Amino acid sequence: MKKVLVFFLFSLLLVSPVFAAGQKATVDEKQVVLTIWEHTPQFELPLRNTLDRFMEENPDIKVEYEIKTPDNYLSLLTTAIQAGEAPDLFWHHGTATTDMANLTRQGALMDLTSDVDVSGYSQMSRDKVTWEGKLYQTPAATIDTRAAFYNKDLFAKQGWSVPKTFDEFETLLATIKKAGLIPLSLAGRDNWNILFLFEPILAAMYPDWIQEATVGKARIDDPRVIAAMEKMIEWGKKGYYGDLFLGVDEAGQYLAFSRGQAAMTVAGSWTTTTLENNNPDMNIGAFQIPTRDGRKPIVLTYAAGFSVYSKTKYPEQSLRLAKYLTSKESQQIWVDGLGAIAGLAGVRSGSQLADEIADANLELESFYNILVLGAADGQSPTKVWEEDNPKLFTGVVVPKAFVKTLDSMMDYSKL
């Protein structure tokens, strides 16, 4: 009897690997492969972590991601959609730009209204991903803002303090320049990074203009907007961005700060992980550029998530991923991966640095969003802004004429 039992067990051991291999092949054959696109390397870590967790909970789905770069992302996406080869899910700006309107008109986006629950999100967040009353994109729990990042150890060594007024901030810039360092690294060839500097300058100098413009009571060609642009240009002429900033791209801006060549950099709140990874030994702090009377303004926008391609071969699996991306679990992973500011109940901010960024007492709308929301039918002031704002530093475009052009494309009754 023992010999029979031993023989049976031995035979079972021999066939078990074959049986197991057969089982694995069956699972693999049933596994669906989805592709998702993200527009910038800064979001690779949170995206990877989020997808890893999703795949653990959904073993029948494999998700492959592709990370693009901001300079050509939309052109690549448009080409893929036109060819009928778009990824199953993809990021875009939502209603923050004309992306949402254009993509829905092309019929490229799946209507998620009946399938994805976004009731827990703020109205501002839902507005970012909704077009004409329908949900076409997953929302995000991260609040996007801009902040001045600084090297805490360098400040302590030099005896510099975080400025409490706008005048103190300007004095600090001059002091750092005299010390032989770049006060503020800036990507002078990148229109988005220029925006992320201009908005805090405008908010610090003329928060009243933003408040008025948000409700359609102030125009884009207002002298206050011109003065803020001229201030940004003036800092460039004084060398506050470094001598070669006109040729610097986004990565160069961050590296100048991380390598200690620049004492500060003004950038989006989502860059915290990038800055920390560039130099893990740097003690980084953050603050909002203050107003002349000492208030701390913060320009707030909500991030946008991912849309499902209307012609995906796997609608059920793509919707399952979209639902997960909207969950608190997914959003917490994303916020932690970015060290971001959380804007959803039940999701905590990702770091102490995020708390420093959020230390403000005056919430303001984004200048860019005002251009989006107030654009006249058939007009795109944001496109003109994006194409021409780097030319402000070379004098090819001057503030007064620039804002006049933008103003001509606005319909203030929409605000």
Q: What is the average pLDDT score of the chain?
A: 92
- The answer to whether domain 146-299+364-414 has CATH 3.40.190.10 is yes
Alpha helices in 248-366 (DSSP H): 250-258, 272-278, 315-326, 328-338, 352-357
- Domain 21-144+302-338 sits in CATH at 3.40.190.10
Note the pLDDT tens digit of each residue in 315-336.
Answer: 999 999 999 999 999 999 999 9
Proportion of the chain above pLDDT 70, given as a percent:
93
Amino acid at 203: A
Cβ-based neighbours of 107, under 8 Å, separated by 6 or more: 310
pLDDT attached to residue 339: 87
Note the pLDDT tens digit of each residue in 331-354.
Answer: 999 999 988 899 899 999 978 999
pLDDT attached to residue 28: 53
pTM: 0.80
Kindly tell me if the per-residue pLDDT of 100 is higher than 70: yes
Which position has the token pair 């959904």?
58
Kindly tell me if the per-residue pLDDT of 10 is higher than 50: no
Same fold, 21-144+302-338 and 146-299+364-414: yes
Kindly tell me if the per-residue pLDDT of 19 is higher than 60: no
Note the pLDDT tens digit of each residue in 289-322.
Answer: 999 999 999 999 889 999 999 999 999 999 999 9
Do residues 386 and 229 lie in contact, with contact meaning Cβ atoms separated by under 8 Å?
no
Kindly tell me if the per-residue pLDDT of 117 is higher than 50: yes
Kindly tell me if the per-residue pLDDT of 62 is higher than 50: yes
Give the start-to-end residue ranges of the domains of the chain: 21-144+302-338, 146-299+364-414
According to DSSP, the residues that pair with 89 across neighbouring strands are: 36, 308
Proportion of the chain above pLDDT 90, given as a percent:
87
Note the pLDDT tens digit of each residue in 141-183.
Answer: 998 999 999 999 999 999 999 999 999 999 999 999 999 999 9
Which position has the token pair 């040729």?
247
Cβ-based neighbours of 392, under 8 Å, separated by 6 or more: 194, 229, 232, 233, 398, 399, 402
DSSP 94: G
The mean pLDDT value for 49-74 works out to 97
Report the candidate in 54, 286, 249, 18 with the shortest Cα–Cα distance to residue 147. Answer: 286
